[in-house]
Copies of this chain bind each other. A is one copy, B any other.
Amino acid sequence: MDDIDKKIVKELQNNARASLKNIAETAYLSSPAVSARIEKLEREKIITGYHAAVDSRKLGYHITAFVSLDVSSADKIRFYEDMESIPNVLECNCVTGEYSMLVKVAFPSTMELDLFIGQLQKYGKTSTQIVFSTPVGPRDMDVMAEIGEKE
């Protein structure tokens, strides 16, 4: 993971559909070289995938929320399977603090969100924060930053 790799990753973060030729130009490299480096980054699982970002509102998901809830260790495996199976769950994090889980979800309306939260009650008490707006991000991590002790 040298500076050239970082430049390539940054380019792919900005535009995952960029052509090898274009990436090669910005990285001052030939396209076969870029191709080989990208394959290596994928093999090493530094790059884990390429995703189109979509406007959730325009897809009908008007409500985004973070649901905190307390899940006992015994229930966690079942809970994870549950979260995995519900497509509205965008992210499910195990966290420190009063609530053990923090789940990001998207629903068409508060009605569906309410139904979802109802389903969660069996696992423990919940606390929900509905998103008004997202002034920053979601955005990609800074690859170029100087960080000591990688991996």
Q: Which residues of A contact B (CB under 8 A)?
A: 1, 9, 12-17, 44-61, 64, 66, 80, 83-84, 87-97, 99, 102, 104, 106, 108, 127-143, 145, 147-151
Number of copies: 2
Asked if residues B138 and A91 are in contact (CB atoms below 8 Å), the reply is: yes
Give the secondary structure class of A's interface.
Answer: mixed
Asked if residues A60 and B13 are in contact (CB atoms below 8 Å), the reply is: no
Contact residues in B for A60 (Cβ distance below 8 Å): 147-151
Asked if residues A102 and B89 are in contact (CB atoms below 8 Å), the reply is: no
Asked if residues B150 and A80 are in contact (CB atoms below 8 Å), the reply is: no
Point out the residue from B57, B80, B135 that lies within 8 Å of A80, measured CB to CB: B135
Say yes or no: A46-B54 contact (C-beta < 8 A), given A87-B142, A147-B59. yes
